[in-house]
Amino acid sequence: MSATLDTIKQQISENPILLYMKGSPQLPQCGFSAQAVQALMGCGERFAFVNILENPDIRAELPKYANWPTFPQLWVGGELVGGCDIIVEMYQNGELQPLIKQAAATNATEEGDA
């Protein structure tokens, strides 16, 4: 297994809410990443991100690992939620907020036990 794949698995397992995106939340470098960030910020919880433009190995490997060809990719609780269209749709119909809140609450509980 490649070191890049190990890195991806570690990032996903260590971050309950993780967005693989182009750019950063403060400076998204594509419209789809910007929309995903807006939806996530609307949920009011902190989330981790990986700028795939600065990580070409991850950019190349993640689509194969996730079986999802495009970016951004939102991972919550170790599971792929989906890309921009799915994130925005879930936000608009009220499905994203409880998912994000639950992941953040679960993480806070686990950190409190440590």
- Coil, strand or helix: which one is 73? strand
Binding-site residues for glutathione, in ranges, read 22, 59, 71, 84-85
Stretch (H or E) spanning 110: helix 96-113
Cα within 13 Å of Cα(46), Cβ side: 5
What is the Cα–Cα distance from 4 to 35, expressed in whole angstroms?
27
Binding-site residues, in ranges, read 22, 30, 59, 71, 84-85
Is 36 in contact with 96 (CB distance < 8 Å)? Answer: no
Binding-site residues for [2Fe-2S] cluster, in ranges, read 30
